[in-house]
Amino acid sequence: MISQQAPLKGLQTALERADAQTVDTERLREQVHTALEEAGVETPTRPASAKLTHDQTDLLVDLLEGFSSRREILEWEQELVIQTVGQLEDSWFTRVASDAPTVSALLGEPWGEVDGIRPDLALEVRRGIVAKDLLPAFHAAHEVARWSAVERVDHLADDPEQEGMEPIEPRDQEYPLMRPAFGEIAGQQEAALGQLLEGFESPEQLLAWALQVVGASYAEIDRETITQPYFELPIRRRLVTEEPTEEDMFIRESWAAEYLLPAFNRAADALADRTTEVTAGQQYRGESGDGSIT
């Protein structure tokens, strides 16, 4: 139990320190990671949960830090979909990336019909989102993931057969929640979002992308929705152009916020209790056979 209480404590004190006008976010990030690593146990026995907490920490600190563009907000939301295991409302993603006062607070500068925003107010809003939306969602994600997180105690065994077993380092793990399926879907979603924002060279490419989105959303995107950018010529023109105007970019981003992210969110939710956990990402294993010191 100690291992589960202690990280929270570390998180609390770190958050209290953040209660200043300007946030030293890198320091906060470092502190939370260190607090998590040093809390109670040398090596976590449920590394998948620890990995989730580490990844969530990064997203939390990113939000406190604010963003420099709407595109960054969307990319952050896409990661959030994965690390909350789809536990936020679908509409939340649309609202946060489209509601003018919220977007202004996230960017720390005027956006849409909002003329200006005081920095302290912007920070207050961001903190509010962390407290009101993010933490409950992270909580829900842990609830979904907690009992399926594999307990790994091999490295603690006295059994000579097991000698040499290494503990699992959560931060070295490649996949979100240590589940390859999540790594896969995260990669697909990131690519699909990136392509949409970059635009397409031809209508054919747009069609191929539509199929990709079907995969990346585990078919959680509506049939009509995914063909809409192709059939509705005004939208298609915004997407298939080599030199997009600001307006084109606005439409692309808005489409992502309105349709893509909610679908991604449903996909993560659907995937949550159907995946298997593995350890992966420690590619260096065995490299030291030739005595690598790096």
Q: Is 65 or 248 the residue whose CB approaches another protein more closely?
A: 65
Q: Is 186 or 206 the residue whose CB approaches another protein more closely?
A: 186
Q: Is 232 in the site for another protein (CB under 8 A)?
A: no
Q: Is 30 in the site for another protein (CB under 8 A)?
A: yes
Q: Is 287 in the site for another protein (CB under 8 A)?
A: yes
Q: Is 71 or 236 the residue whose CB approaches another protein more closely?
A: 71
Stretch that binds another protein, among 21-29, 200-208, 212-220, 243-251 (CB under 8 A): 21-29
Q: Is 21 in the site for another protein (CB under 8 A)?
A: no
Per CB under 8 A, contacts with another protein among 40-59 are: 55, 58-59
Q: Is 76 in the site for another protein (CB under 8 A)?
A: yes
Per the listing, tokens 């920490």 go with 57
Distance (Å, whole) CA 223 – CA 156? 51
- Cβ burial, residue 48 (10 Å; 0-12/13-18/19+): buried
Q: Is 34 in the site for another protein (CB under 8 A)?
A: yes
Collapsing DSSP states into helix, strand and coil, what is residue 173?
Answer: coil
Say if residues 104 and 110 touch (Cβ distance below 8 Å): yes
Distance (Å, whole) CA 211 – CA 223? 11
- Cβ burial, residue 115 (10 Å; 0-12/13-18/19+): exposed
Considering only 15, 64, 79, 192, the residue that binds another protein (CB under 8 A) is: 79
DSSP tag of 272: G
Q: Minimal distance in Å, beta carbon 118 to another protein?
A: 25
Residues 6+ apart with CB under 8 A from 86: 265, 266, 267, 268, 269, 270, 271, 272
Binding site for another protein (CB under 8 A): 24, 26-27, 29-31, 34, 55, 58-59, 61-62, 72, 75-76, 79, 164, 166, 169, 284-294
